[in-house]
Amino acid sequence: MTASLELSGRGTYRLRNVISLLWSSLYVSLRRLIRGPHLPNWNWALEVTTHFLRTQSRIAFDMPHIVEGREYQDALIFHSPAVARLRIEPVAGPPRGHWYLPPPERRVATALYLHGGGYAYHARAHRNLIALVAWAAKAGTFALDYRLIPEHPFPAQLDDALAAYEWLLASGVDPRRLLLAGDSAGGNLVLSLLLSLRDRKLPLPALSLCICPWTDLTNSGANMRANEDHDWVEKRMADRWARWLCQGRDPRDPLLSPVMADLRGLPPVYVQAGSAEILYDMICAFVQRAQEQGCPILLDVWKHMPHDFQAYGDVLPQSQEALARIEQIVDACVRRKPDDIAYPFQSQP
């Protein structure tokens, strides 16, 4: 099975997206013919899709109103075979979202997934990544449709995540088999939720999976500029989303920028990043701070990979490796099979 496209929404947006994809295919093919890959180990599919996503993101971002940008971004999305392998069921709420359900014989855990998109865009564009992570984690996964910015600034998203987590606990989910997972802004929300759960003395999950997490809303780090040519997200986008989320709050608040938080007392956190993404510096800074404070944390980095490269699934060897690594970490933390897999996290002091 191969990746597929899903088109929706108004015809002009669908047509513009298709033309952009065709242009990206032609441009990248010619560029690779003349200059070779943009970065080492970039295959044609990664390079075309990254170029297309950069174009799509810029067009959506520059539209006069965020509602139009959301519709444009959702007009063309990619699906991998993982989407077809799962049963996807809407939940009208509260909380509102979708269940991503692998076959019962594959499920070993339950996950709460918090999607990326700068807190400004719908979960729809992340459906493929959510499905890939749900399959890799062997988890019945509830993907929350939290409230979006700029209509709903912080702490609306954290309040929604807390409500969803408590809903899962109330439904009988064992926290020892409960995972938190999120990408980009959703990774930021995972960490904020963890801090809130700890401070409220609520049962903590067995593991948190943070995929390319946004850890510093001040958007510091040289890679915010240095990696813009390689990534499909730009600093100007992150800066606007941070302003919308904070709405006058100090972006250095630990619940907004976990890189500045007291991280002691958290359960295991597994982080993945690509060295070519604009968030790379802040991700490394967060992991270093967590290690210094004794938080059980593990970081895996894939060289030359852009933001959310895991979404490429079977199309990209590095994505396959990252998803297989998620499966391994979940097995180690949830199933606890010491004869097969070494437990990767050190105990807290």
Residues annotated as catalytic are 184, 277, 307
- DSSP conformation class of 309: G
**Beta-bridge partners for 112:** 142, 180
Residue 261 corresponds to which tokens in the numbers above?
């938080």
Residue 239's alpha-carbon distances to 219, 220, 234, 242, 251, in angstroms, are: 7, 10, 9, 5, 11
- DSSP conformation class of 332: I
Q: Residue 103 CB: number of other CB atoms within 10 A?
A: 11
- Residues 157, 140: Cα–Cα separation, whole Å: 22
Query: One-letter amino acid identity for 212?
Result: C
Nearest to 195 by CA among 182, 208, 213: 208
Specify whether the backbone of 89 is left (phi greater than 0), alpha (psi in -120 to 50) or beta. beta
Between β-strands 76-79 and 4-7, what pairing exists: parallel, antiparallel or unpaired?
Answer: antiparallel
Q: Where are the alpha helices (DSSP H) in 293-338?
A: 317-330
CB 114 within 8 A of CB 193: yes
Residue 193 corresponds to which tokens in the numbers above?
């939720």
CB 184 within 8 A of CB 211: yes
